[in-house]
A and B are shown apart, each in its own frame.
Chain A
Amino acid sequence: MRAYKGKGDVQAKPYYTDRYWVAPRVPKFDVESDEVFSKDLEVIKSKFDVLEAFIQVEQMTVFINPDDNYKVLQLLKDELDYTQLSEMSAIDFIETRDGFEIFYQMLSMNKRKRIRIKMFIKNGAAINSVEKLFRSADWSEREVFDMFGIEANGHPFMKRILMPYDWQGYPLLKTYPLQGDEFAAWYEVDKIYGKEAREEIGPEIRDTATVDRYDSDRFARLGYEVPIGVKITGNEPKNTQNYQEEGGVFLIRKLDKDSSKVIDDPQR
């Protein structure tokens, strides 16, 4: 057996990061560089305010006012042939701009083009539901509500979709800790056993580096068992493993390793 070395702080040490590394940016192009997109943008511009438009990775991104979202998507669906809403969600910009960016990812199978409609809403504002236009927005809007707390006006069933109904907090906000706040940490204990059981059950063990496999209180090491609480030195004698008790079990034949055939040729 290998000698035991403490590894308690391995995960606490930070990784090496390059201070001078600059994340590469995806280049933006003018909408005029693409014929189909420039025609689509003309149609949108003729009816609605467009704050910004550009092409990135062969897809057009259009920024609109948040009040226009239903009508813009209706225009895209009915007149411009963008018949699918493949994805919608939100991006948390609360820290820098005190709000969220909502995006709608549209696909036209006939034109073989994708458009991304984006809009910026203030923190605490609601959006108009587009569930009447696209059935796929039903669950997406519920997910946006579940993860960011943005409600969609006019949605038929505005409830959480992934987290339980009695959950508190919105997990995809950048301020939400990955390992959960206090409510999340005690959720199952509070719900099943009540708050009184917190002390008995104890806090969650979140740092996996603290789980010590040489801990003889909580683990038995097969083949090298020691009594509970005894400190493991690493020089324990090996116990042979039996699949059955020494005396055997009534009506059940005991495996005899010596008389059984061991196949050690993998190419047999």
Chain B
Amino acid sequence: MAQHKINYTQNGGLPVALTSMDKVVNWGRSNSLWAMTYGLACCGIEMMAAGASRYDFDRFGTIFRASPRQSDVMIVAGTLTKKHSEFIKRLYDQMTEPRWVISMGSCANTGGMFNTYATVQGVDRIIPVDLYLPGCAPRPETLQYGVMLLQKKIRANKASRAQKPKRLM
């Protein structure tokens, strides 16, 4: 029988990779960001375009789900009216932790040009936001870049189970 030494931790040995739990969990989370369909206005069209074949969110593992219980990230795309504000809070509460929110476009960020009585002046008055995308409406590339930044953020943080409560404002 041939005798030789096997270095298990090197390429060419056995397929073994050593890493930390944090990295594995965060790797899984960041590459299967299921987004909740939340197109409220014209930004929703750009969000749909980013999900369709030309820009193709599936490459990032981002698949749109119609249920808050199956989704990790809520992409608030469009104008949030005061009448709707209680529902966005309810849907956010129904999402399982860990959860993230991308505020897409001027209206979701600050109320945008709708400086009126019926518009919520920024979704961060209702739910905590991780990422603000500027633009009216942002191009699909911007949303793609935003998702990549969010992936980067997820990988930079600890994957411990207890998520720190986020600051609302």
Contacts and interface: CB of A to CB of B under 8 A. Distances in A.
Given A250-B19, A252-B31, A163 B83 contact: yes
A176 B89 CA distance: 28
A191 B86 contact: yes
Contact of A249 (B86, B121, B155): B155
B62 to A, nearest CB: 14
In this complex, the interface size class of chain A, counting residues with CB under 8 Å from chain B, is: 20 to 34
Interface residues of B, number: 31
Interface string B1-43: 0000000000000000101000110010011000000000000
Contact of B155 (A164, A208, A211, A245): A245
A188 B86 contact: yes
Contact of A176 (B82, B110, B117): B117
B115 interface: yes
A200 B168 contact: yes
A154 interface: no
A201 B117 CA distance: 18
B117 A179 contact: yes
A250 B24 CA distance: 9
Interface of B: 17, 19, 23-24, 27, 30-31, 82-83, 85-86, 89, 110-111, 115-118, 120-122, 125-126, 132, 145, 148, 152, 155-156, 168-169
Interface of A: 162-164, 171, 176-181, 184, 187-189, 191-192, 200-202, 204-206, 208, 211, 219, 243-245, 249-252
Given A184-B82, A188-B120, 10 more contacts: A178-B116, A178-B117, A180-B117, A192-B85, A200-B168, A204-B121, A205-B110, A249-B27, A250-B24, A252-B31
